[in-house]
Amino acid sequence: MAEITDWAFPTELQPKAERLPFDLEKVLSSVVLIRAEVPEDAFTASVLGTERLGSGVVIRPDGLVLTIGYLITEAETLWLTTREGTVVPAHALAYDYATGFGLVMPLGRLSLPALERGTSASVRIGSDAIVVSHGGRGHALSTKIADKREFAGYWEYLIDEALFTTPAHPHWSGAALVGMDGRLLGIGSLLVQEPIGGETLDANMFVPVDLLEPILDDLMRTGRASRAPRPWLGLYATESQGQLVVGGLAADGPAARAGVKLGDRVLEVAGQRVGGLSDLFRKVWRLGPAGIEIPLTLARGQSRSRVRVRSRDRDELLKKPLTH
């Protein structure tokens, strides 16, 4: 398998250091490669794989790395590789399901500059930015903020104002979105299809770094944010022709146990009509913390049925990192 470094963007797509008001080399040096190995019997192994590769960003002088959480969840072994090729073992410190952020603490000395965090609130649509994955300037892409909007993911995930960039970076997982002030704006999460200027283009979705500050101290102290865990149903719905259709179910998850079937259409939560995927999540989460019973009204064919789903804290299903 080819290494992640065995390619480079064309020179015209790479950022030009002489045109930037910040030290590009310093920014490039703060991004590390993350390699994760996950047990085959892990809950997320069938979906996310047992070998995961992506990037992370050093955000503190002690070497703390911010990344996207799906890279490190249930990881048994973690390695960080610097731009210069130094490899150190690491520990998965935290994964916050609400934001999607993950924190990694190196177990060896990285000696890398920390990238200062900015704010996405001040960034406008159309603004220039840079996407940086591990590998130096050849892996840095000049891009633009194409959109700032709500994003709902079928895996029971919702961001009020995610950042979308074009052109898309092919190695987006954990990549750094950097503004023209040289500060971190967001962490790469997805490749999506985005309607822009009358056509559909490939874009990257970034989780805004603004969401980290309110929970960082809690994540460092306990590995979780202090908020109550949200109720998780294990129900993967998608919007299709104005309807919410169950396209997947977590094996032996709460929804499956309650009798929800593939192809069911979700009509109501606690008697209230559901207007879309994000509305479904908000109505479920408003009912209370994980463990609460969620009443759903479903349509199956021409008939309707009501089920009561006993929600769970999804963290209970995941393997925990080994202590060092």
Is the Cβ–Cβ distance between 143 and 130 less than 8 Å? yes
Which is it for strands 31-37 and 51-58: parallel, antiparallel or unpaired?
antiparallel
> For 48, phi and psi rounded to 5 degrees?
-100, -10
Residues 193-226 have pLDDT tens digits of: 977 777 888 999 999 999 999 999 999 999 999 9
Which one, of 68, 138, 134, lies nearest residue 100 by Cα? 68
Q: How many CB atoms within 10 Å of residue 157?
A: 17
For residue 309, the 8-state DSSP code is E
Q: How far is CA 243 from CA 234, 238, 247, 249, in A?
A: 19, 8, 12, 17
H or E segment to which residue 221 belongs: helix 216-222
pLDDT of res. 177: 98
Q: Is residue 124 predicted with pLDDT exceeding 60?
A: yes
pLDDT of res. 2: 38
Ordered domains of the chain (ranges, CATH): 11-114+215-222 (2.40.10.10), 120-209 (2.40.10.10), 235-317 (2.30.42.10)
Residues 48-63 have pLDDT tens digits of: 999 999 999 999 999 9
Q: Is residue 323 predicted with pLDDT exceeding 70?
A: no
Q: Is residue 79 predicted with pLDDT exceeding 90?
A: yes
User: What CA–CA distance (Å, rounded) separates 81 from 112?
Assistant: 11
Q: Is residue 298 predicted with pLDDT exceeding 50?
A: yes
Residues 250-275 have pLDDT tens digits of: 999 999 999 999 999 999 999 999 99
| Encoded tokens for 20 | 């930037």
Q: Residue 21 burial by CB count (10 A; 0-12/13-18/19+): exposed, middle or buried?
A: exposed
pLDDT of res. 319: 87
pLDDT of res. 7: 86
Residues 125-161 have pLDDT tens digits of: 999 999 999 999 999 999 999 999 999 999 999 999 9
- Three-class HEC string of 87-120: EEEEEEEEECCCCCEEEEEECCCCCCCCCCECCH
Give every CB contact of residue 146 below 8 A, 6+ residues apart in sequence.
Answer: 125, 164, 165, 166, 194, 196, 201, 203
